[in-house]
Structure 1
Amino acid sequence: MDAYIMHCLNHVFRTRDLVMKNDAKVSKRQETDNNEILADDNFLDHGFTRPKVLIILPIASIALRVVKRLIQLTPSAHKVNVEHMDRFSREFGTEEDHDNEDEKEIPPGDHDYGNVKPHKSTKPGDFQVLFGGNSKDDFMVGIKFTKRSIKLYSDFYTSDMIVASSVGLLKKIDEAKVNKEKDVDYLSSIEVLIVDHADVITMQNWNFLKSVVEQLNHIPSKQHGTDVMRIRQWYLDGYASFYRQTILLSYYSTPDINSLFNKNCNNYHGKVKLVHEHKGVLPKVVLQVRQIYQRFDADSIEHFDDARFEYFTTKVFPKIKDSIEGGIMIFISSYLEYVRVRNFLKSQSASFCLLHEYAEQSDISRARVQFFEGKRKIMLYTERSHFYHRYKIRGIQNLIIYSLPERKEFYPEVVNMIDGSHDMACTVLFSHFDLLRHGYLQLNKETINHEMWCGGSSPHPLTMRLGVRSPPMGMEHISWPAVYLLRESSRSERD
C-alpha cells in the first residue's frame, strides 16, 4: 500500500510544482510578449481537468486505511490542516490504530496476518480483515492538496486525487448518461490509475470496473475553465489513454484481470507483469479424503463451459442421481454456471437445495437444515456465497468441485468441510483451460506423472483421471508502462 500511495503523492506534487512554476513564468512574460508564450511548448502542462490520480478500491474499510495512510505519508508542510476528517471517519467507519498500517492489507491464504489483531470469530483471518470494518461498496471521495492543507470531499473538478469504488463511479457515469446536465469529465485527464485488491472486485461485479476504465481519458463534453492554450497536445489529439499508467494489484490472476491488462492498458512505454509463484494448498487439506481430479476435453475457450457442462451431465451426474446416502455438495465458481446446473437438476427432478449469494437468510437456513438432515440429497454452493459468508456446511459426504475456486484458500476450506466418515470423496473437474487455477493446486506435469498423498498419518491418494487429451516533452515523470502485480510481489515494486 505504501509504495503506490507515495508514488501517487509524488506525481501529484511534481505536477503541481510544474504548473506553479509555469504560472509564475506566464505571469512574468505576459508583461512582455504574449505571443511567445502561446507558441512555447514548455508551457503545455495541463489536462482537460485537474484530477490526475484515480484509486479504485472494493470496500470502504480499505478506503479508510488508504486515505489515513495517505495523510500520514503526506509531507508535514502540506497537512497543517485536514478538512472534513471527522466526516470521513464517520462515514467510512473507525478502526483501531496499529503500528504498521501496511501490514493490514488483506493477507493471502498462506501468510501470517502481521499486526492485525485477532477477532473472536471462527471465520478465517482474511475474512475478518476484509469484512471486519465498513463493508460498504458504494463510495467516492475527492482529495485536494493545497500549500498547507488536505481537503477531503472536495469537488471532483478541483480535486487532485479521487478515491472511489467501481460501484460509486459507475453510478456517476450512469447518472451522466440520463441527465445531460451532469457529466464525468473529471475522468478525462487521469494519468495514474490504481486498482487495488482487484481479486476482491472480481467477487463483486467485474463489469462495473471494466465500464469505468473504458470511460477514462475521453475528450470532455464541456469546457471546465481550463486554459486551452496550456493543454498538452496528446489530450487534444485523443491519445491520453496511451500516457496513463495503470497499476493492478491482486492476490491472484484471473482471465478478467488479464483481459483488462491486455486490452485496456495501452501505455506507449509497454507493460510489466510480475507474478508470484503460488505455494500449493493441498497440504492444508487436513482430512484423509480421496481427491479425484477428472480432466475433460475442450476444443477451444469458446466451448470450454459447454464441455464442462456436458462432462458433468454425462459422466458425473449419472453416478450421483440415484444416491441413497445423499450429502453431495456441488461447489461452483461462476454464478452463470450455477444457474445452468440448477436448471439441469430441475429438469432431472433431482433432490437438491441452493446456497448462493442472492438467497434470503431464511432460505439459506432452511437449505442448510434440509441438507444436514438428508431431506435434500444435493446442495449447490457458489464461490461468491462462500466469499461473503464462509459458511460451515454440515453433512457433506461427497464433494464435487464443478469449477475450481478463483481464491486459492477456498479449496482447502471447502474440502475440510467434508464430514468425517470411511468413504469421503472429493471430485474436481478441470481442463487445460483452467491453467490460472492449476497454480495453487500444482497440477503440473510432475503432479500428473506421480501419485500424491494428502491428509493425515494414513493418507488417501490423490488420483488423476485424464480425459481424451493430455515521453514527450513535459511527461518525463508520468509516462510509465502499465504494471500488473500480484499482491505477494507488490512490496518489491519500484516506481
Structure 2
Amino acid sequence: MDWNSPTTKLLTLLNISAAKSLKRKFISQPDSPSPKLNKRRVLDRVSPNFAGDANANADIAELEVDEAGQDVDLGDEASGLSDTGERANIRAPPLLLDQSAIDSVDKRLWLISNLSFPTIGSVAVSKVEGSHSSEKMKAGSSQILQRLRAPFVERQSSLPSDLRLLQDEILSVLSSHRDLYHTHSSQATIPVIRDSISLHILDHVSKKRRRVLKNNERLSHAVKAGVPAPEDVQDQGFTRPSILVLLPFRSSAFRWLESIINHTPPPSFQIENMARFRKEFGLPEGVVDKFASPEAEAYPRDHVETFRGNADDNFRVGLKLTRKSVRLFTEFYGSDIIIASPLGLRLSIEKEQNFDFLSSIDIVIADQVDSLTMQNWEHTQFVFSHLNHLPKESHDTDFSRIKHWYLDGHAAYLRQTVLLSAYETPEIRSLFNQSLKNVEGKVRTFRHWAPVQVPEGLDQNFIQFDCSSAKDELDKRFSHFTDRLLPPALKSAVQSANTIIIVPSSLDFIRIQNYFRKQQLSFAVLSEYSTNEDVSRARQAFFSGKKSFLIITERFHFYRRYKIRGIRNLIFYAPPDHAAFYTEFLTYPFLDDGVEPSDVTCRVLYSRYDWFRVERIAGTKGAKQLIKNSDL
C-alpha cells in the first residue's frame, strides 16, 4: 500500500474523525436530553465546523437570527445564490476538471494564445484543451454581490476613465477564475488594482459564508421536520481559511487591510482589534517616518512608496469576516483570510510543525513580488510548496460537507493565484510555470520595453559570454569575469581605481569578495547586511581613494538607495533586475564636479539567460540584437 497517496491519507483522516466522533458520543449521551440541549446539539451539527474558532458561538447566534428571518443583510441576493453566482465564486466543479486536464497541466501542455486589453495591454492566455473560451473574460464585475458592487461603482466614478477601465478589466480576468500574473504594475495603478482584487476576495468569502449558512438552515429545517438531510451540502474545505495574501512588509499589510475595509458597508460595520493592528503594523511609538517628511524628496518615488511605514518583513495575521464585523488577529483555523509575509508564515509553520490551515486555500494573492525576490526567495517557494495538501489531522471536520475536489486531492488545480510585480524575473516566471496549476487557465501580461535613458555621450559596453546551459551559468559568468573582464581593468591605470562592481546575486557577491581577498586587492563592500557604520566607512574609503574597488549588492541599493560618489568606472557583474538602478548608477559619477561622459566607462556582463534584465535596459528591440543565437 502506498501510504503517501491522497486516498490513503484521506482514509486515515476519516478513521481519525470517526474515532473522535464515537468518543464524543460515548462521553456525552444523555438518556433524555432537555429541549434546550437538544436544540444546541442540532445547531452544533449544522454549524460550519471550523475547528479552533474561538468565536464559534457568534456563528451559531447568526444562524439563529437567520432562522428568525431578521437582520439578514444579504443585499439583492438574499434568497440564495444563483447557479451562475455559485459557479462563479463558490467554485462548483467545472467540467474541465478531469484526469486528462490534470495530466495536461502536470506536463505543462498549455495551449497559448495572445489577447489585447485596452489598459492591461497584451496578455498571453494559457489554457488546457477543452477549456472555456477567452470570451469568458468579458464578464466584468456583473457577478459581484450587489451590496459590494454598488459602493465600488460609486467610488469608481471619481477615478479617471483609464483607471476605471483597468479595474473592470482586472475584475473580468478574476471572474473567469484564471490565474493572473501582472508583470508591470506601476505606482499609479497599484492602488486601483489592489482595490479590484480586494473586492474579488471579499465577494468570494461573502458568497462562501452565505452558502454555508444557507445549508446550515436547510439541514436544521430537515432535522426539525424529521426528513432526511439534503445531500447537496458540499460547501466547505478541510479548514476554514480560503484566502492567502502574501506581502513583503507590514506597511503592505496595512494598505491591503484598508482596501478590504473600504468594501465593507459603513457605518454599522465594526473592525475589531483595529487599535492593536495599528500598533503592531504601524510605526513604533516615537519613530518618525522619514518617507513622510521633506527628507523623502531625496529618494526616488518608487523607493518612498515601497518603504514608507513599517518595513518589517516578519508578520502574519488572521481575519474573520462576519455579517457585521471584520475580526483581526483570529486564530488561523478560525480565519477566512490570512495576510502574512513568506518569512512570517514559514516561521509559524516550522514552529508548529503544522500547515493544515493552508489545505483549503482557494485564492492566493502575492503582491509586490519583485520586492519578495529582494528578500529570501526560498521563503516564497516554501509557502507555495505547502499549499493545498491533504491535512494531517481531521480538525473536527464534517467530511459530508467537504467539496469533492478537496477529498480527491485536486484543490491545487482549482486554486486561483494572482501575482503582481513591477517587472518580471526568472524566479517569478518559474513560479508561474511550475506552481500554478489552475485548469481554468492562466493569464500573463507582457509588454515591449523601450531603452532606458542614460547620460548622453556615455559609452556602454555590453559583454556577452557563451553559455548553453543554465546549470553552468554561475561558473561561466565567474570565469569570464575573473579571466577576461577583470585582468585588463587591473592593468589599466584609469580602470584599476574608482571602480564599482554591482552584483545582483548574494552568492555571487560572496564569491567575488572571496576572490578579491585572495588576490589581495584593495576593495570595500556594501551589502544589505552592512551597518550604518560599515556603510559610512566604505563610502568614505572609496570616495577618498583609499579603496580602489567598491563591491555592492543590488539588494543594498534596493534597501538603502544611497548615492555613491567617486565613481569613474562601472562593472555590472550582471544587469540589475530593476532597470531604474542601472540609470541611477550611471548618473552617480556626475555628482562630482568636472566629470565628462568620456571620463566614465561602463561594462555589463550578460548571457542569454539575462533576457528579462537586458530587455528592460536595452529595450525589447535592442535586447534581441544583444542576445545572439537565442530562441527566447
TM, length-normalised to structure 2: 0.64
Task: List gaps (5 residues or longer) in structure 1.
Answer: 96-115, 178-182, 450-463, 471-495
Q: Which residue of 2 aligns with 1:59?
A: 249
Matched-pair contact (CA < 8 Å) for 2:237–2:406: yes
Residue 118 of structure 1 and its aligned partner are, at CA, apart by: 6.7
Distance 2:529 2:199 in 1: 39
Distance 2:310 2:362 in 1: 29
Distance 2:269 2:534 in 1: 53
Match of 2:532 among 361, 379, 391: 361
Larger deviation, residues 125-134 vs 377-386: 125-134
Q: Which residue of 2 aligns with 1:455?
A: none
Matched-pair contact (CA < 8 Å) for 1:141–1:153: yes
Query: Over residues 179-215 of structure 1, what are the superposed CA-to-partner deviations in whole Å (9 max), with x where a residue is unaligned?
Result: xxxx332111110000000000000111101101111
Q: State whether structure 2 residue 317 is matched by structure 1 residue 132.
A: no
Matched-pair contact (CA < 8 Å) for 1:399–1:418: no
Distance 2:585 2:422 in 1: 19
Matched-pair contact (CA < 8 Å) for 1:352–1:377: yes
Residue 448 of structure 1 and its aligned partner are, at CA, apart by: 7.4
Match of 2:459 among 283, 286, 290: 290
Q: Which residue of 2 aligns with 1:442?
A: 618
Residue 270 of structure 1 and its aligned partner are, at CA, apart by: 2.1
- The two structures, once aligned, show a CA RMSD in angstroms of 2.2
Higher relative contact order (CA 8 A, sep 6+): 1
Query: Over residues 51-82 of structure 1, what are the superposed CA-to-partner deviations in whole Å (9 max), with x where a residue is unaligned?
Result: 111111100111111101211112338x6211
Q: State whether structure 2 residue 366 is matched by structure 1 residue 195.
A: yes
Matched-pair contact (CA < 8 Å) for 2:367–2:420: yes
Larger deviation, residues 51-60 vs 431-440: 431-440
Matched-pair contact (CA < 8 Å) for 1:166–1:208: yes
Matched residue type, 2:217: A
Change (3 A) 1:164 1:14: same
Q: State whether structure 2 residue 462 is matched by structure 1 residue 269.
A: no
Q: Which residue of 2 aligns with 1:377?
A: 548
Change (3 A) 1:375 1:236: same
Residue 292 of structure 1 and its aligned partner are, at CA, apart by: 0.9
Matched-pair contact (CA < 8 Å) for 1:51–1:186: yes
Distance 2:545 2:502 in 1: 18
Matched-pair contact (CA < 8 Å) for 1:293–1:429: yes
Q: State whether structure 2 residue 316 is matched by structure 1 residue 145.
A: no
Change (3 A) 1:381 1:227: same
Q: State whether structure 2 residue 334 is matched by structure 1 residue 158.
A: yes
Distance 2:282 2:619 in 1: 42
Distance 1:349 1:324 in 2: 17
Distance 2:273 2:197 in 1: 24
Residue 94 of structure 1 and its aligned partner are, at CA, apart by: 6.3
Residue 234 of structure 1 and its aligned partner are, at CA, apart by: 1.6
Residue 119 of structure 1 and its aligned partner are, at CA, apart by: 5.0
Q: Equivalent residue of 2:500, what SS?
A: strand
Q: State whether structure 2 residue 279 is matched by structure 1 residue 90.
A: yes
Matched residue type, 1:161: I
Matched-pair contact (CA < 8 Å) for 2:523–2:549: yes
- For residues 92-491 of structure 1, the aligned pairs below 5 Å read 92-93=281-282, 120-177=296-353, 183-281=354-452, 283=453, 285-286=454-455, 288-325=457-494, 326-419=497-590, 420-421=595-596, 422-442=598-618, 444=620
Q: Equivalent residue of 1:416, what SS?
A: helix
TM, length-normalised to structure 1: 0.81
Q: Equivalent residue of 1:274, what SS?
A: strand
Distance 2:343 2:624 in 1: 42
Distance 1:19 1:93 in 2: 35
Larger deviation, residues 299-308 vs 396-405: 299-308
Residue 121 of structure 1 and its aligned partner are, at CA, apart by: 3.6
Matched residue type, 2:531: E
Residue 136 of structure 1 and its aligned partner are, at CA, apart by: 0.9
Matched residue type, 1:82: I
Change (3 A) 1:55 1:36: same
Residue 120 of structure 1 and its aligned partner are, at CA, apart by: 4.0
Matched-pair contact (CA < 8 Å) for 1:56–1:196: yes
Residue 166 of structure 1 and its aligned partner are, at CA, apart by: 0.7
Q: Size of the alignment, in residue pairs?
A: 424
Q: Which residue of 1 aligns with 2:263?
A: 73
Matched residue type, 1:416: T
Task: List gaps (5 residues or longer) in structure 2.
Answer: 1-193, 285-291
Larger deviation, residues 381-390 vs 22-31: 22-31
Residue 223 of structure 1 and its aligned partner are, at CA, apart by: 2.1
Residue 357 of structure 1 and its aligned partner are, at CA, apart by: 1.2
Matched residue type, 1:75: P
Matched residue type, 1:48: F
Larger deviation, residues 318-327 vs 208-217: 318-327
Matched-pair contact (CA < 8 Å) for 2:367–2:421: yes
Q: Which residue of 1 aligns with 2:96?
A: none
Residue 14 of structure 1 and its aligned partner are, at CA, apart by: 0.8
Q: Which residue of 1 aligns with 2:209?
A: 16
Distance 1:275 1:119 in 2: 35
Higher helix share: 2
Distance 1:66 1:287 in 2: 41
Change (3 A) 1:147 1:395: same
Change (3 A) 1:445 1:249: closer
- For residues 20-39 of structure 1, the aligned pairs below 5 Å read 20-32=213-225, 35-37=228-230
Q: Equivalent residue of 1:44, what SS?
A: coil
**What percent of counterpart residues are identical?**
39
Query: Over residues 87-136 of structure 1, what are the superposed CA-to-partner deviations in whole Å (9 max), with x where a residue is unaligned?
Result: 111111169xxxxxxxxxxxxxxxxxxxx997544111111121121111
Query: Over residues 127-180 of structure 1, what are the superposed CA-to-partner deviations in whole Å (9 max), with x where a residue is unaligned?
Result: 112112111111111111111111111121111111111111001111023xxx
Matched residue type, 1:388: Y
Query: Over residues 294-315 of structure 1, what are the superposed CA-to-partner deviations in whole Å (9 max), with x where a residue is unaligned?
Result: 1111121111222211211121
